[in-house]
Amino acid sequence: MTGRTLIPRKLLFGNPTRAMAHLSPDGRYLSYLAPLDGVLNLWVAPTDDPSAAKPITQERVRNIRFYEWAYTSRHVLYMQDANGDENWHVICVDVESGESRDLTPIQGVNAYINALSHFMPEEALISINDRVPQLHDLYRVNLLTGERTLVLENTGFADIVTDKQFKVRLVQAPQPDGSFDVLQPDGQGGWQVWTRIPHEDTVTTQLYGFSADGNTLYLADSRGRDTSALFAVDMHSKAQTLIADDERADLSKVLMHPTENRPQAAGFTYDLLRWHVIDSALAEDFAYLQSFSRGELEVMSRAADDSRWIVAYNLDDAPARFYLYDRAARRAHFLFTNRPELENVPLSKMHPVIIPARDGLPLVSYLSLPKGSDTGQAGKPDSPLPMVLLVHGGPWWRDFWGYNPYHQLLADRGYAVLSVNFRGSTGFGKAFTNAGDGEWAGKMHQDLLDAVEWAIQQGVARRDKVAIMGGSYGGYATLVGLTFTPEVFACGVDIVGPSNLVTLLESVPPYWQPMLAMMRRRIGDETTPEGRAFLESRSPLSRADQIKRPLLIAQGANDPRVKQAESDQIVRAMQEKGIPVTYVLYPDEGHGFAREVNTLSFVALSEAFLSAHLGGDCEPFGDDLSRSSAQIVTGAEGVPNLSAR
């Protein structure tokens, strides 16, 4: 313990002051998420007077995390669930009257917004699994009355793609081999194959949607190549034209024209985001905006007439900065930062590094170091540090450069922090993603071990002081680290991680059923004796007796993806062997933390736990535990000062 002043975790993990800024389609209103009595709600102001913002929602328990403007420019749609169960409701709020309407007032179903269109401003396409839990039917819903009309009864599709006239144009039908058939209506009430997406391309090929006239389909496509590129397909001739690509990275962002719905810029992220401007009409805008401020540029929102944009600059060592951009004047006006309280806080830089795996595969990774530990400013500490290996979820996801609250907190507490895009991660081409097939607890884990060894050899990490931590797949990786390689890590923190791959696949949410064939190809097949044996051999539960190092487990009781049973069963197995474990359960959370009070309590537990086993600093609990719903099921003695509470 150093006794120095620490960055309060609330500054890093508390709700942002403002987030997700957008313009209404007519440009009159500016909206964003901001706290109301400690819960993120929707606020709206006249664009020309942001100081006049008022809340238009009254959520009291769970943060709003996603919203969209309807093309009426008067209605905002957002989604909300209960206690993390992911039974999402789509709620419509009238900005002017303040009236709110639940467009999907059905208990126990999962609904989501499929499409909005400026041609149908008072309607939305919403997918709802109210008829069959495994399948989402498509409805056309009137925003003013709530009346809904069935558009398509889903007979086994994983995705439904419509045009801007709300006409169903294509559907994706999963096949037993993990591939997808893309079907189009045959004109006689049935379907015909339009194209096929082989299993090896399913993660890296995505249909984006149609141009406003419906004649052109835009998609990310990796077929016949490695990285996914942006293509246009003529729906009459089926001719496919390459629009933008990058030989190292998959397509990650597409900026579409607000009314014509055609791509104008494409983003590719290898280590950092790089924009490819497609439409020359935007060339000067991007030249100005990219030179205007440091950080990665993101266009958050555009008015329908394209006169105004909301842009953000994302940084690694400062809060995100939001601007209102006037295209005619070519001038950006500062609006706000998302966390102004961090403006003068000494945050750590995040260094992109490329780590070679043992077979030569390049692993794009990100390293953060404690402020002042790197006097040469070369991305290497003056002496080896205790380190936390922070593993992302998915695993079909990736880590990015930028502000990361865990990186900042852990670096501030005295640790090097390393995030690794191991094989199976997305963004680096299909060969890299597919290299993870069948490699859970195999080569995917070896990549993490190789990264740890790299950090030790580079003088970044102390061999005896490396922790592993992560959520979802990262939680699984934590359990693998402590069971398959029990001597490598000093301790582990598992957040909603599966412990048994058989029970994980047997208990997925019903609406994931269309994706199960693909998951079985990538993880293993729980329906065959051979597949079950393989999955059990790659499950931490089967090696629970090998755990030698301290373990902290956090679980949401309502998690529909990784059920509470996944944590319960490994805790029980450890207890039967007399192996200590600290297990904290959140009765009002699901797959991760949505409530600020719960996030802060878990971070408090984690930093105290890591401090005990790695030797870094930690902020006292304060009232962060008492204000949360955290239930210490077992192992309070495993976290300093917890058993006395």
CB atoms within 10 A of CB 632: 18
CB atoms within 10 A of CB 149: 10
Q: 378 and 243 in one domain?
A: no
**Can 559 be counted among the known catalytic residues?**
yes
Using an 8 Å Cβ cutoff, are 17 and 34 in contact? yes
Please give the pLDDT value at position 643. 75
286 belongs to a structural domain:
no
Mean pLDDT, range 356-374, rounded to an integer: 97
Would you place residue 377 in the very low, low, confident or very high pLDDT band (cuts 50, 70, 90)? Answer: confident
At 430, which CATH number?
A: 3.40.50.1820
Would you place residue 3 in the very low, low, confident or very high pLDDT band (cuts 50, 70, 90)? Answer: low
The total of structural domains in the chain comes to 2
Would you place residue 645 in the very low, low, confident or very high pLDDT band (cuts 50, 70, 90)? Answer: low
544 belongs to a structural domain:
yes
The rounded mean pLDDT for the chain is: 96
Please give the pLDDT value at position 183. 98
C-alpha distances (whole Å) from 456 to each of 167, 200, 281, 380, 502 are: 57, 35, 49, 11, 35
Please give the pLDDT value at position 644. 59
Catalytic, out of 22, 407, 591, 613: 591
Of 235, 226, 253, nearest to 194 (Cα)? 235
Catalytic, out of 117, 127, 348, 472: 472
Domain interval for residue 490? 350-500+539-638
**Can 591 be counted among the known catalytic residues?**
yes
Angstrom distance (rounded) from CA 36 to CA 367: 35
Of 493, 590, 604, nearest to 65 (Cα)? 590
Angstrom distance (rounded) from CA 505 to CA 526: 7
At 221, which CATH number?
A: 2.120.10.30
Q: Answer with the one of 231, 257, 283 that is the final residue of a domain.
A: 257
pLDDT over threshold 80, residue 1: no
556-605 residue pLDDT tens? 999 999 999 999 999 999 999 999 999 999 999 999 999 999 999 999 99
Can you read off the two tokens belonging to residue 454? 């790299």
Catalytic, out of 159, 245, 316, 559: 559
pLDDT over threshold 60, residue 229: yes
Angstrom distance (rounded) from CA 483 to CA 481: 6
The least confident of 357-361, 392-396, 509-513, 629-633 is 509-513
448 belongs to a structural domain:
yes
583 belongs to a structural domain:
yes
Q: Answer with the one of 257, 279, 303 that is the final residue of a domain.
A: 257
Buried b (16+ CB within 10 A) or exposed e, 431-456: ebbbbbbbbbbbbbbbbbbbbbbbbb
**Can 276 be counted among the known catalytic residues?**
no
pLDDT over threshold 60, residue 2: no
Of 490, 638, 493, nearest to 552 (Cα)? 493
First-last CA distance in the chain = 22
Would you place residue 101 in the very low, low, confident or very high pLDDT band (cuts 50, 70, 90)? Answer: very high
Can you read off the two tokens belonging to residue 527? 């329906």
Angstrom distance (rounded) from CA 186 to CA 172: 15
65-79 residue pLDDT tens? 999 999 999 999 999
Q: Answer with the one of 191, 226, 257 that is the final residue of a domain.
A: 257
Extract the runs of DSSP E, i.e. beta strands, from 258-414.
263-269, 273-277, 296-302, 308-314, 321-326, 331-337, 350-356, 362-368, 385-391
C-alpha torsion sign, points 259, 265, 268, 273: negative
Angstrom distance (rounded) from CA 498 to CA 470: 12
Buried b (16+ CB within 10 A) or exposed e, 1-18: eeeeebbbbbbbbbbbbb
For the entire predicted model, the pTM comes to 0.96
Mean pLDDT, range 58-64, rounded to an integer: 96
Please give the pLDDT value at position 270. 98
Can you read off the two tokens belonging to residue 201? 């391309």
Mean pLDDT, range 117-139, rounded to an integer: 97
